[in-house]
Chain A
Amino acid sequence: MSEKNKNKSSFFFISKNSEPIFSKKNRQLLTDPLDDNNPITVQVLGICSALAITVQLKPAIVMTMSVIFVMASSNVIISLLRNLIPNRIRIIVFLVVISSLVALVDEVLRAYAYDVSKELSIFIGLIVTNCIVMGRLEAFALGNGVWKSFLDGIGNAFGYGFILILVAFFRELLGSGKLMGVQVIPDFIYEMGYEDNGLMLLSPMALITVGLIIWVQRSRNTKLIEEN
């Protein structure tokens, strides 16, 4: 049997016995980034946007949705092109793909969610430089199939967004006594002398909140504790 035929049959063999869509491995692609391999708390990527847009819940949620869209689509596109992309210019290709997806998100937000787009303006643009997106393309999508890359993109974007929303929840609650712009701390508590903590609205508190989340995460997830 010639070399070519051998390859063909083995390729055919794999596709015939392909793993189920939600095999254990594939599920892990989705769940790993939520905890064990979280982009923010474990890999410490994407911190910049976690500081900047977590003052209120709403922008954090919109940012999460935008990142989910950008990561899933860019992972799929790069995975589709992975056998065509010239190796020497792969980073440029990543950038072109990510930035055009980001431009798409920006245009759509400006048409359908104008207030949010004004609030997020430069941060939407900064998704381009979000290290998580670039990192997943280089480390995962370039070497894996479309479906796996899609799951990996969704998983990592959720892992990022989950922390973003968690931080925004505490900052909005403690900083302005509201959630999604609606007051949740009743008036009588203010009358008793409670005051919103203005410090929560400033960026350093986002870093401290992320730090606290990492602390909680490491205290219950023993896999993350480094051996000394």
Chain B
Amino acid sequence: MNRDSNLYTFLFIGLLIVGIASILTFTARTLKPLQDENVRNEKMQNILSTVGVNVNREEAESYYNKFIIQELSLKLDGSINESLNPFSEIDLVKELKKDYNNQHFPLYVAEIDSKQFYIIELRGFGLWDAIWGYISFESDFNTIKGASFDHKGETAGLGAEITQDWFKKSFEQEKIFNDSGDFVGITVLKGNNDPGNTDKNDHEVDAISGSTITGDGVTNMIYERIKNYIPFINKMNQSVVMN
């Protein structure tokens, strides 16, 4: 057949693409379980890291089962949806696209040395793309125990620094409620005159130079996500007071 004819060209590219598509589909399907396993273990690793348990990915599952005593799916009014597994069935990306009143929010409860910690999943937007993470609270659901952040495409050396330990550390012991009990969140602020983050009652952490928008994204993310847990926190506190 004439190699320069239109028919030959169409036939050639058609066959090539069908062949290549089958090879790629086959590989993707075969490797999918392994890839999912990696993503799952990494999620456990991240959740654990906020309560100070740093393990490698292979061990993540056993430690997760050991320390995480409850996985809850919360509704907007603070009640618990028992039929939904928050770890495997709530994908925060999809959840946030749903109608606001039908959203569910995952809450993980960890117990380490008979102390309880509450872990919340975060998701928001930085400068270029999505940012996400986990933040954990001590049993008062006010004082931050630890936080971990990750991002898809923040600027390396600037916004991407939110994944660094020193930035995460600056959240520790900060409080999300002010003295009169109102929810204020944590503000990532430049020039808050507290670069060492010694003042743990100012609801502020020092920003990273050159990443104002990523920092604002972290502020918003913390406020917007934790806001939805307020009804649950209030219920919890009330029951404590009543007891």
Interface residues of A (CB under 8 A from B): 84-89, 92-93, 96-97, 100, 103-104, 107-108, 110-112, 114-115, 122, 201-202
Contacts and interface: CB of A to CB of B under 8 A. Distances in A.
Contact of B9 (A86, A97, A115): A86
A41 to B, nearest CB: 25
Given A96-B20, A104-B27, A107-B27, A89 B157 contact: no
A103 B31 contact: no
Interface of B: 3-4, 8-9, 12-13, 16-17, 20, 23-24, 27-28, 31, 34-35, 38, 42, 57, 153, 157
A209 to B, nearest CB: 18
B2 to A, nearest CB: 10
22 contacts: A84-B3, A85-B12, A86-B12, A89-B12, A89-B13, A92-B13, A96-B13, A96-B17, A97-B20, A100-B20, A100-B23, A104-B24, A104-B27, A107-B24, A107-B27, A107-B28, A110-B35, A111-B31, A111-B35, A111-B38, A114-B35, A122-B153
Contacts of B17: 96
Nearest to B3: A86
Contacts of B16: 93, 96
Given A107-B27, A107-B28, A202-B157, A93 B13 contact: yes
A103 B24 contact: yes
B24 A86 contact: no
A78 B134 CA distance: 47
Nearest to A84: B12
Contacts of A97: 20
B12 to A, nearest CB: 6
B131 to A, nearest CB: 15
Contact of A112 (B3, B20, B23, B34): B34
A97 B21 CA distance: 11
B34 A111 contact: yes
Nearest to B20: A100
B34 A86 contact: no
Nearest to B38: A114
B1 to A, nearest CB: 10
Contacts of A88: 4, 9
A100 B13 contact: no
A100 B24 contact: yes
Given A104-B23, A107-B31, 9 more contacts: A84-B3, A86-B3, A86-B4, A87-B3, A88-B4, A89-B12, A104-B27, A114-B38, A115-B57
A151 B9 CA distance: 29
Contacts of B57: 114-115
Contacts of A85: 12
A27 to B, nearest CB: 33
Contacts of B23: 100, 104
A114 B57 CA distance: 10
B38 A110 contact: yes
Given A104-B24, A107-B27, A112-B34, A87 B13 contact: no
Contacts of B28: 107
Contact of B31 (A96, A110, A202): A110
B4 A87 contact: yes
B157 A86 contact: no
- Among A84, A108, A111, the most chain B Cβ lie within 10 Å of the Cβ of A111
A133 B37 CA distance: 33
Contacts of B24: 100, 103-104, 107
A122 B38 CA distance: 18
B22 to A, nearest CB: 11
Contacts of A115: 57
A221 B8 CA distance: 48
Contacts of A86: 3-4, 8-9, 12-13
Contacts of A104: 23-24, 27
B60 to A, nearest CB: 12
Nearest to B56: A115
Contacts of B35: 107, 110-111, 114
A176 to B, nearest CB: 13
Nearest to B29: A107
